[in-house]
Structure 1
Amino acid sequence: MRRKIPSTAALISFEAAARHESFTKAAQELSLTQSAICRQIGSLEEFLNVELFRRSKRGVKLTEAGLSYSRRVAQQLDAVERDTLSVMGQQGANVIELALVPTFGTQWLLPRLKDFQQRHPEVTVNLTNRTRPFLFADTNFDAAIYFGDADWSGTAAHRLMSENPLPVCSPALIGNQQQLSAEQIAELPLLQQTTRPYAWRQWFNDRNLNVPRDMTGPRYELFSMLAQAAMHEMGIALIPPFLIQRELAEKRLVVANPHALSSPKAYYLMIPERKVESASLRAFRDWLIEQSHAYELPSR
């Protein structure tokens, strides 16, 4: 059955004309004549049986339908361009499209990824930020790293590591003290992590404290944001130490109290069941588990 899709040339001409709201500028951008742009858009309007532009002596202006359609066309053309560049860049290489939570990717995975590249130069790993589970069937992702309970339908889960966050802050908040008691921490501004809303409550409960304001304070979506806020003396934050190794080493952040918050949740590598036999993914899985175990081993 033939698809009901206009010509690519017409869509590209329309997208450029809609973006500029000018046939002349679209023609200049695409190295075409203005009459060629007019013909392409005219054929598109005829195909759709919808007026996309209102013409006047002063120029053209998108109709309501034209504005709506232009936004959708632009998104689809961008997606086609990304996919095309991706295929051109692969040149037959084995590519893993990995979705992962951002701070874990930048602070823990990326500093180690060179080792995987050296061991498996035939495999390319592309990273994209995703903070929530999704349907693999609706995306081009081959695997994902996320923090949770491994309850992700249609996937094989491989545990990497726990978070075990510690209270950290700027050295200025501690002053000359070696550490702060739970009672002292309760008096400081508590920096909250959006996806861990009960973290401070759980930490204080572990210390047998009931702190009425344990869920108050500014909220940040990423641990990297929490770290920046803590370094700027805005309060104290619960952050997994493996995400702030450099900040701790350089004393821009210090551990305010050695009690770590334990959690049944962990970081997992999730691979869709239909891809578990992929040689590239198996190599990446084995390397990633090796790296995570090597990191956790010294703390046991």
Structure 2
Amino acid sequence: MIAPRRFLPSISSLLALEAVDRLGSASAAAEELALTQSAISRQLKTMEEQLGVELVQRDRVRLHLTPAAREYVQTARAALTQLAQASLKLKANPTGGTLSLSILPAFGMHWLAPRLQDFARRHPEVSVNLSTRLKPFDFASEPFDAAIHFGRRDWAGVDYLKIMREEVLPVCAPELRQKTSDPTWLLSAPLLHLDTRPDAWERWFAVHDLAAPGLRGMLFDQFSTMIPAVANGLGVALLPSYLVTDDLARGRLVTACDGPAVSLGSYYLVWPKERMIAPPLASFRVWLQEAFA
């Protein structure tokens, strides 16, 4: 049940309060909202009278939010943001059925995006909105229904659906490859690292029974910037096999040593436990499961 009307200020009043808090003055808030300064003051006064609480301390120069109002406006800002996002979803798909999905850039671009046409064909009633996030986040403060997660089942407060296991290969430019199949040469090679997988090389060496403490090298935030660096001879990188298949076939990259690909983690679809599963997410889960049946 929604709270009684007397506890719900108008949207215009909340917008005025949020703008004053963020911009620091009634004049700046008025300019942003295309109102007069006196109109901003009236909106705040109306809210104070409705709630029976002082929100603003006034002097001759400017308005100052009270400590209680500054705390209140944080919740109001989050609610306004969620309402705006819901409106955008409604506008994008007026028939209903929007899925907002957080993706990892490389996986989303090279694996998921080429397959989404099949999902769209099977479920034309669902609009999928994609946005990238590199690390786990709080679903309560982000506008997503679900997310693509890599690694282990270490995201708190979510349920998991395993999508696929990722296998990585050590690759480099052809001129950097040593004439040996022994992986020990990589211990002294320039190694490239992904900042969201800081222990990837240590784990790869451990699979080969090699100790590799204190590895150093260039750091990247995405595979998309790492691959050109590898191709230009800047070092050796651990890259997912699905990303380098074409480059290996064309000879642009080569494997840095012989041996099978190694798995350092899996991809999962995750969604918050406390929410009901909406039909678009349910359809997407079934589609993923069928894709890997």
| TM superposition score category, shorter chain reference | 0.7 to 0.9
Cα gap change, 1:132 to 1:271, in 2 (>3 Å)? same
Which stretch of the first structure deviates more once superposed, 235-244 or 204-213?
Answer: 204-213
- Secondary structure in 2 matching 1:117: helix
Cα gap change, 1:143 to 1:172, in 2 (>3 Å)? same
Cα gap change, 1:19 to 1:142, in 2 (>3 Å)? closer
Which digits, 9 at most, give the CA deviation of each residue in 1:143-175, with x for residues without a partner?
44322455778877543321111112344533x
Q: Which amino acid aligns with 2:97?
A: N
**Counterpart check, 1:52 vs 2:56:** yes
Q: Residues 54 and 66 of structure 2 are in contact (CA less than 8 Å); yes or no, is this contact kept in structure 1?
A: no
- In structure 1, stretches of 5+ residues that fail to align are 294-300
Superposition pairs of residues 126-165 of structure 1, within 5 angstroms: 126-130=129-133, 141-149=144-152, 157-165=160-168
Per-residue deviation, 1:292: 5.1
Distance 1:246 1:36 in 2: 62
Which stretch of the first structure deviates more once superposed, 132-141 or 94-103?
Answer: 132-141
Percent identity, aligned pairs only, is: 38
Q: Which amino acid aligns with 1:211?
A: A
TM score, norm. by length of structure 1: 0.73
Distance 2:25 2:276 in 1: 47
Per-residue deviation, 1:128: 3.9
- Secondary structure in 2 matching 1:196: coil
1:186 is matched with which residue?
A: 187
- In structure 2, stretches of 5+ residues that fail to align are none
Per-residue deviation, 1:234: 3.8
Q: Residues 16 and 26 of structure 1 are in contact (CA less than 8 Å); yes or no, is this contact kept in structure 2?
A: yes
Aligned pair count reads 287
Per-residue deviation, 1:24: 3.7
Distance 1:256 1:131 in 2: 27
Cα gap change, 1:286 to 1:179, in 2 (>3 Å)? farther
- Secondary structure in 2 matching 1:267: strand
**Counterpart check, 1:42 vs 2:45:** yes
1:196 is matched with which residue?
A: 197
1:255 is matched with which residue?
A: 255
Cα gap change, 1:138 to 1:81, in 2 (>3 Å)? closer
Per-residue deviation, 1:247: 5.3
2:115 is matched with which residue?
A: 112
Q: Which amino acid aligns with 2:266?
A: A
Q: Residues 44 and 55 of structure 2 are in contact (CA less than 8 Å); yes or no, is this contact kept in structure 1?
A: no
RMSD over equivalenced CA pairs, Å? 3.9
Cα gap change, 1:221 to 1:9, in 2 (>3 Å)? same
**Counterpart check, 1:267 vs 2:262:** no
